[in-house]
């Protein structure tokens, strides 16, 4: 026998086919059952389950019809194949109306009529010779000979396939999930058709008979498998239970057979003990699997709910930012007017108020109005930063000059608070940035040092150049410390600006530090300082006025300049040091290249609400 014939006879061997059919019947029934179990009341699941069963029966009967030992029943089995095909046609007609979603179009009475027709046609094919008159037995199996209504059978089957084409339209109208399901269904259908076409148009004409026709049938298992996957994908946990049950059933069945086939009473007894143990173990296993699956399903549900809640919160957050932006914008005009007129009223040259009490009260009102104006501008700045609408106009700047100017502006306030400001090394430091914004940062830091120093002392400012890795490592440590804290505190490192602004550039960085001998900051407060609205809840700070936004804004401004900012303190009454990094002037080109990747139109951008905080406002 040559090699080809060995292969061919293997494929047509009845026992080989029996194994394949048995596998298809087991897998198919399991999937049909799983689909049905998943949602017993759903018309979709019911129809798909019947669809699978009809395919399984059709494959099974066709195989039995080919059996040599059952040759007398061959006609009956082949008629049963046709009977099954009428049920499969019933499902094919319904399918576009119920899968992936039940459209509700095919109402119960219509379905019953269709089912009745299918039952009658199936009955006719099984019990009469109208569709199949006889069978011819070949060495490879049986072939049908049509009866009087053979043509009708062909027409009915062809027509029942037509509704499938409506899926082209259904697909277009479907949502994401349904489309995903449909793709799997189409894939299964395509593989099935490819199988059938290869057998009927290629193999059969080549061999000259239909000995391989069954392989066309077998490819229906693709349709069954992919459709099940489409439906059960989200419920694979249940499949695990069913699989476990199946395995348990097989193991228990085998041991039961062993008990029954025992040769001596002792053997039977031992095997029975073994069976009881296995049964008990199976019971425990099943329970634990069920419990675990229930738990995981709950977990999944919870995480889905959490994801939804999170999306909702983000939406709310965006709405809130928009509201704050609108509200502060609207507030700024009247507040500025109040502040301006009050300052005029208090100016002796412009208005005359005689009563010293009135002047005192007015003075208080004026300082409150200034604080209010500060708060409103801060909020406006925060919303501009968070919405990415802050106008940043960078140029080459003389950092030493900028710091000196700032010191001049705040000197008077520092002296009032008995603080001396020393710029240790004003050696012509240069950077590339927006002078207004950097000034705001320096004013904030020096201002805080003045505000949070109770005793006479010195505020020293220092600039130095360090390798970029140094800053990166330092920042890693700061981040790690904050990441180990509660979620709420992690706000302190959540960047409010685009990554392209945030990234460190160049090989070296400038480090600007502002050190004071003031009230200091408790260790546990350090990581929280840069959060929005955060103020150290301590009696020492409670008396000084502030919004808790200064450091948050400073951080965002520094980040907009590819920098990092952090605070250090040895604890209460040991003073504090605030340090931030900025790129060196040589990194200008690299920096510009990186920022060019952020799409921004100048029209939507706005400058800081009030560029530089006046010394008296601190």
Q: Given the rule CB under 6 A, which residues bind ligand ADP?
A: 444, 448-449, 452, 516, 518-519, 521, 529, 534-536, 541, 546-552, 576
Rounded to whole angstroms, the Cα distance separating 48 from 31 reads: 10
d(CA 558, CA 493): 13
CB of 326 to ligand ADP, least distance (A): 23
Query: In this complex, which beta carbon is closest to ligand ADP, that of residue 294 or of residue 494?
Result: 494
Nearer to ligand ADP, 210 or 516 (CB): 516
CB-wise, 129 or 545, nearer to ligand ADP?
Answer: 545
Burial 277-303 (b: 16+ CB within 10 A, else e): ebeeebeeeeeebbeebeeeeeeeeee
**Residue 359 three-state SS:** helix
Distance in Å, CB of 577 to ligand ADP, minimum: 8
* Closer Cβ to ligand ADP, 79 or 613, answer by number: 613
Q: Which is nearer to ligand ADP, 434 or 516 (CB)?
A: 516
CB atoms inside a 10 Å sphere around CB 508: 17
CB of 429 to ligand ADP, least distance (A): 22
Place of tokens 């799997």: 184
Q: Would you say 64 or 521 has its CB closer to ligand ADP?
A: 521
**Residue 445 Cβ vs ligand ADP, minimum distance, rounded to whole Å:** 7
Q: Rank residues 7 and 522 by Cβ distance to ligand ADP and give the closer one.
A: 522
Residue whose beta carbon is closest to ligand ADP:
546
Side-chain half-sphere exposure of 250, counting CA atoms within 13 A: 6
SS3 of residue 429 by DSSP: coil
In whole angstroms, the minimum distance from the beta carbon of 284 to ligand ADP comes to 59
Closer to ligand ADP by Cβ: residue 150 or 571: 571
Question: By C-beta, is 83 or 518 nearer to ligand ADP?
Answer: 518
In the sheet with 576-583, reading across from the earlier edge strand, the strands are: 419-423, 457-467, 508-515, 576-583, 565-569
Q: How far is the CB of 387 from ligand ADP (least distance, A)?
A: 20
What is the SS3 assignment for 378? Answer: helix
Q: What is the DSSP string of 97-139?
A: HHSSS--S-S-HHHHHHHHHHHHHHHHHHHHSSSSEEEEEEET
Measure Cα distances from 317 to 322, 442, 553 in Å. Answer: 9, 30, 18
Provide the CA 593 distance to its chain's centre, in angstroms: 32
Residue (of 509, 486, 471) closest to 587 by Cα position: 509
Kindly state the smallest distance separating residue 541's Cβ from ligand ADP, in Å.
4
Contact in structure between 452 and 576 (CB atoms under 8 Å): yes
Q: Are 375 and 547 in contact (CB under 8 A)?
A: yes
Least distance in angstroms from the C-beta of 330 to ligand ADP: 23
Closest approach, Cβ 475 to ligand ADP, in A, equals 19
Handedness of CA 601, 376, 401, 453 (dihedral sign): negative
The answer to whether the beta carbons of residues 135 and 75 sit under 8 Å apart is yes
Write down the least CB distance from residue 597 to ligand ADP, Å.
Answer: 31
Question: What is the C-alpha to C-alpha distance for residues 281 and 603, in angstroms, rounded to an integer?
Answer: 72
Give the chain's end-to-end CA distance (angstroms, integer). Answer: 102
Please report the sign of the dihedral spanned by the C-alpha atoms of residue 351, residue 354, residue 359, residue 361. negative
Q: Measured from the CB atom, is 56 or 382 closer to ligand ADP?
A: 382
Cβ closest to ligand ADP, residue 31 vs residue 618: 618
Provide, rounded to whole angstroms, the least separation between the CB of residue 483 and ligand ADP: 21
Choose between 143 and 554: whose C-beta lies nearer to ligand ADP.
Answer: 554
How far apart CA 34 and CA 237 sit, in angstroms, is 11
Q: Which is nearer to ligand ADP, 181 or 444 (CB)?
A: 444
The candidate with the shortest Cα–Cα distance to 610, out of 550, 564, 545, is: 550
Tell the smallest beta-carbon distance from residue 538 to ligand ADP (Å): 7
Both structure tokens of 287? 């329970």
Which secondary-structure segment (H or E) carries 211? none
Nearest to 376, CA basis, from 132, 610, 120, 54: 610
Would you state the structure tokens that stand for residue 58, as one six-digit string?
Answer: 């059709």
Nearer of residues 452 and 580 to ligand ADP, judged by Cβ: 452
The dihedral sign for the CA sequence 21, 27, 31, 37: positive
* Shortest distance in whole angstroms from residue 548 CB to ligand ADP: 5
Q: Which residue, 188 or 546, has its beta carbon nearer to ligand ADP?
A: 546
Q: How far is the CB of 384 from ligand ADP (least distance, A)?
A: 17
Cα 247 to Cα 11: distance, rounded to the nearest angstrom: 29
Instruction: For the CB of residue 321, give the shortest distance to ligand ADP in the complex, in Å.
Output: 18
């Amino acid at each position: 026998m040559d090699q080809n014939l060995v292969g061919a006879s293997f494929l047509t061997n009845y026992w080989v086919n029996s194994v394949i059919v048995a596998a298809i019947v087991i897998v198919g029934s399991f999937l049909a059952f799983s689909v049905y179990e998943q949602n017993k009341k759903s018309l979709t699941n019911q129809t798909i389950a019947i669809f699978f069963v009809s395919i399984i029966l059709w494959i099974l009967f066709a195989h039995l019809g080919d059996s040599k030992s059952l040759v007398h029943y061959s006609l009956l089995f082949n008629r049963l194949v046709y009977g099954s095909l009428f049920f499969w046609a019933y499902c094919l007609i319904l399918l576009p109306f119920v899968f992936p979603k039940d459209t509700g179009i095919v109402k119960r009475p219509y379905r019953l009529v269709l089912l009745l027709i299918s039952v009658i046609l199936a009955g006719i094919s099984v019990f009469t010779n109208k569709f199949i008159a006889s069978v011819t037995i070949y060495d490879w199996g049986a072939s049908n000979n049509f009866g009087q209504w053979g043509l009708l059978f062909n027409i009915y089957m062809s027509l029942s396939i037509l509704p499938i084409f409506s899926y082209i339209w259904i697909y277009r109208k479907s949502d994401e999930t349904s489309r995903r399901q449909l793709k799997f269904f189409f894939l299964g259908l395509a593989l099935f058709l490819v199988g059938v076409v290869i057998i009927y148009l290629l193999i059969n004409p080549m061999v000259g008979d239909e000995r391989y026709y069954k392989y066309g049938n077998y490819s229906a298992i693709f349709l069954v498998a992919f459709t099940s996957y489409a439906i059960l994908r989200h419920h694979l946990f249940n499949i695990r239970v069913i699989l476990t049950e199946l395995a348990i059933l097989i193991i228990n069945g085998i041991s039961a057979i062993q008990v029954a086939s025992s040769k001596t009473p002792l053997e039977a007894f031992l095997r029975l003990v073994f069976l009881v143990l296995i049964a008990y173990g199976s019971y425990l296993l099943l329970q634990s699997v069920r419990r675990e699956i229930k738990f995981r399903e709950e977990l999944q549900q919870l995480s889905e709910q959490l994801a939804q809640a999170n999306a909702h919160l983000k939406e709310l957050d965006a709405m809130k930012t928009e509201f704050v932006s609108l509200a502060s914008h609207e507030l700024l005009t009247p507040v500025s007017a109040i502040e301006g007129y009050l300052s005029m009223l208090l100016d002796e040259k412009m208005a005359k108020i005689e009563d010293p009490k009135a002047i005192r009260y007015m003075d208080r009102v004026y300082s409150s109005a200034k604080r209010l104006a500060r708060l409103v501008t801060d909020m406006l700045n925060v919303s501009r930063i968070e919405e990415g609408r802050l106008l940043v106009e960078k140029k080459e700047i003389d950092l030493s000059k900028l710091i000196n100017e700032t010191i001049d502006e705040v000197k008077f306030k520092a002296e009032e608070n008995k603080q001396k400001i020393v710029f240790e090394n004003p050696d012509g430091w240069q950077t590339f940035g927006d002078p207004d914004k950097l000034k705001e940062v320096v004013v904030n830091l020096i201002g805080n040092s003045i505000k949070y120093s109770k005793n006479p002392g010195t505020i020293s400012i220092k600039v130095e150049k360090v390798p970029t890795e140094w800053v990166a490592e330092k920042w890693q440590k700061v981040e790690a410390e904050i990441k180990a804290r509660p979620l709420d505190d992690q706000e302190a490192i959540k960047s409010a600006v685009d990554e392209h602004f945030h990234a460190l550039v160049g090989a070296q960085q400038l480090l600007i530090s502002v050190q004071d001998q003031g009230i200091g900051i408790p260790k546990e407060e350090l990581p929280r300082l840069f959060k929005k609205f955060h103020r150290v809840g301590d009696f020492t700070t409670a008396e000084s006025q502030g919004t808790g936004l200064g450091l948050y804004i400073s951080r965002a401004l520094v980040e907009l300049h590819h920098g990092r900012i952090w605070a250090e303190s040895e604890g209460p009454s040991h003073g504090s040091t605030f340090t931030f990094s900025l790129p060196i002037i040589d990194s200008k080109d690299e920096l510009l290249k990186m920022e060019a990747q952020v799409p921004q139109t100048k029209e939507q951008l706005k400058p800081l609400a009030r560029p530089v905080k006046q010394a008296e406002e601190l």
